[in-house]
A and B are shown apart, each in its own frame.
Chain A
Amino acid sequence: MDTTSNKIQTNSGVWLFLQLDLIVFGLLFYCYLHARARDVHVFQEYQSSLNITLGAINTLLLLTSSLFIAQATKNLQRAEEFPTPRERHVQVPLLVAAFVCGFSFLLIKLIEYLQKFDQGFTLVTNEFFMFYFVLTGIHAIHVIFGIVLLWFLIREARKPRVGAGFKALCESVAYFWHLVDLLWVLLFPLLYVIR
C-alpha cells in the first residue's frame, strides 16, 4: 500500500468528520440559496449592509493561515516518524503565524457582529440575518476549535520529546484547518459578494 493510502487510513476518522461537516454546510448553503431565491429583493437589500472589505480581509487571513499550516505539514512530511526537536522547531513559527491569522479572523468577525448589533440587526431581524448569523456563527465555532487545536499543537511541538501520534495529529489539524478555510471561501461570495 502506498503512503497516501496509508495516510487516508491513518486519518480515516478525520476524513469522515470532514466529509460529514461538508455535507452539513452543503445543506445549509442549499437552504440559504433556496430562501434567497424566494425573497431575492430582501436578501439583496440587507446584503448591501455587510462590509465586503472586512469579508475580503478575513478571506486573506484564512488563506494565509492555510499557507503557513501547509508549509508546516510539508516540513514534517520530510521528517521521520519521530521528528527531531530541530525539525519541530522549524514548525513552531509557522504554526504561531497561522494561530495569529486565525485569531485576527475572529477579532474582525467580532467587530462585524458588534457593528451589526449597533445597527439593530440581530438573528431575528429577518431571514437574511438569520442565515448570516447562523452560517458565520457555526463557521466561527470551527475557527475557535481550530485555534484551540493549533495552540495544543504548538505546545506539543515545543516539547523535547513527542509521541508516535504527533505526525498524524499534525496532519489531522492541518486538514481541519484547510476545511475551515475552504468553507469560508464558499461563504464569502454567498453572503457578501453575490448581489
Chain B
Amino acid sequence: MMAVIKQFSQDNLVIVWLGLVTITALSWLLAEGFARQLEDFLPPSSTGTLVLSLAVAKVMVILYYFFNIRTFPLRFRFLSELSVFVIWIMLVSLSAA
C-alpha cells in the first residue's frame, strides 16, 4: 500500500486528474444555474459552446496524459488532434443550430 501512495505522490497524473475534476465541477455549475447569470453578459448559445469546449478540452487532456499520445509519433498525434478538432467543430455548430 505504501508503494502505491509513494507512486501517487511522485506523479503529475494526480495534478492532471485534479484539473479534470475542476473542469467537471465547472460544467456542473454551468448546468445548475450559473449559466443564467452568465447569460446577462453572453448570448444564450455561447453557454452551450462553452460547455462543449470544456468537454473537448477534457478529451485533449485524457488523450495527452492518460493515452499518453504526447510520446507518440508526430503523424499519429496530428491525426488524433485533427479528429478532436473536427468533433469540436461538429458539436459546437450543431448545438448552436
Contact: B94 with A33, CB < 8 Å? yes
**B73 / chain A contacts, CB cutoff of 8 Å:** 2, 4-5, 8
Interface size on A, as a range, is 35 or more
List A20-62 residues whose CB lies under 8 Å from chain B. 22, 26, 29-30, 33-34, 36-37, 52-53, 56, 59-60
Mark B residues whose CB is within 8 Å of A: 1, 3-4, 7-8, 11, 13-14, 16-17, 20-21, 24-25, 27-28, 30-32, 35, 47-48, 51-52, 54-56, 58-59, 62-63, 65-67, 71-73, 76, 83, 87, 90-91, 94-95, 97
- Could you name 28 residue pairs across A and B whose Cβ atoms are closer than 8 Å? A4-B73, A26-B90, A29-B87, A29-B90, A33-B94, A34-B94, A36-B95, A37-B94, A52-B28, A64-B17, A67-B16, A67-B17, A71-B11, A75-B7, A90-B4, A93-B4, A94-B4, A178-B67, A182-B63, A185-B62, A186-B55, A186-B87, A188-B27, A189-B27, A190-B52, A192-B31, A193-B51, A194-B51
A residues with CB within 8 A of B: 2, 4-5, 8, 22, 26, 29-30, 33-34, 36-37, 52-53, 56, 59-60, 63-64, 66-67, 69-71, 74-75, 90, 93-94, 175, 178, 181-182, 185-186, 188-190, 192-195
